[in-house]
Amino acid sequence: MSKATSPLLLACMAALFVGCSSSNTSTDPDGSGDMPASTENVKLTGSGASFPYPLYDRWFKEYSESTDGVKIDYQAKGSGAGIKDFINGTTDFGASDAAMKDDEIAQVDKGVQLLPMTAGEVVLAYNLEGVDGLKLSREAYVGILLGKITKWNDPAIVKTNEGIDLPEMDITVARRADSSGTTYVFTQHLSTISEEWKNGPGTGKTVVWPNSDKFIAAPKNDGVTATIKQTPGAIGYIEYGYAKLTKIPMVSLENQSGKFIQPSLESGQAALANVKMPEDLRAWLPDPEGEDAYPIVSYTWLLCYKKYDDPKKAEVLKNAVRYCLTEGQKISDEMGYVPLPENVVEKVTAALDNIQ
């Protein structure tokens, strides 16, 4: 974990994971109905996205604890670092909120199988004492991220928050310092709804943010979360699970239908409802349709090799994924994620045949 990460936040996350794991250990690790044969000391290492880290950490710990001879370690380094490690062959699997591009896949001699494992919402969390139920129009939140709206009592914010006493306070934006899939998802959405953003910062795991001392960089989702909580007047983009865990207020955002939507399991599922998963399992939701859809939702992927030098590692990985697709999906909601639709589970399960 980064040295900039809040110790209090990490302690809170660790306590939740340990408590939850002790009460939910599976007796059927791969979810198939049969216990897998004992495996002789197989260790898998992975790195990448911090977006799904709370869920992946719990999944992998539970699977490791319930399967003799298996240990799965996952390090949240950010999607960009995870893709780099995976391409360089220094890990057994990677994880990214930005699905690998064709030119990245071409660099991997062993072949690449992308597996969407869960979905989540990117939320705008904020720190304004006494302000509950904040709503931001598209005009307002794009303006804030462009550095054009700098005060909390700006007319663009006031007009959608009738009856709320907004302070004449500077807005501080907390953003990612590292190469981040969360940033990719967030900026892809901003590029979709704003020509000015598209032709300015654009879409990427890293982008050029406004040059202002009111834009503060922090590493990973937990670092941004800690920065928001420690900075009065702050707003920043993080994965919903981090906001849910730390009980930090979240903005209701204007969706494509013009409704202001709070992030939740229901609004995330509404966003996924109209998305068709293609054969390569790379589906994007830059601005989902649906009256009740939350506007910033993404799948997040495991990055697996199609060919492993050690067949035992391939088999352990596939069994672990089967567990995550079955028993693991049952805990997604309580951890702040959106369970995969059943048709997506079926496609991902079938894709495991490509891993040898």
The stretches of the chain forming alpha helices (DSSP H) are 7-24, 53-66, 79-88, 102-105, 138-145, 155-158, 181-193, 195-198, 220-230, 240-246, 265-272, 311-325, 342-351
Fold of the CATH domain 7-120+299-354 = D-Maltodextrin-Binding Protein; domain 2 (3.40.190)
Domain boundaries, the chain: 7-120+299-354, 122-272
pLDDT at residue 274 in the model = 85
Tell me if residue 15 falls in helix, strand or coil: helix
Q: What's the predicted TM-score (pTM) here?
A: 0.86
Mean pLDDT in consecutive groups of 10 residues from the start of the chain, 356 residues: 43 43 42 48 97 97 96 97 98 97 97 98 97 98 98 98 97 97 97 98 98 97 97 98 96 98 97 93 96 97 98 97 98 96 96 98
Whether 230 and 245 have beta carbons less than 8 Å apart is answered as: no
Fold of the CATH domain 122-272 = D-Maltodextrin-Binding Protein; domain 2 (3.40.190)
Task: Please enumerate in sequence order all residues whose Cβ is within 8 A of that of 329, keeping only pairs 6 or more positions apart, or say none.
Answer: 118, 339, 340, 345
pLDDT at residue 72 in the model = 98
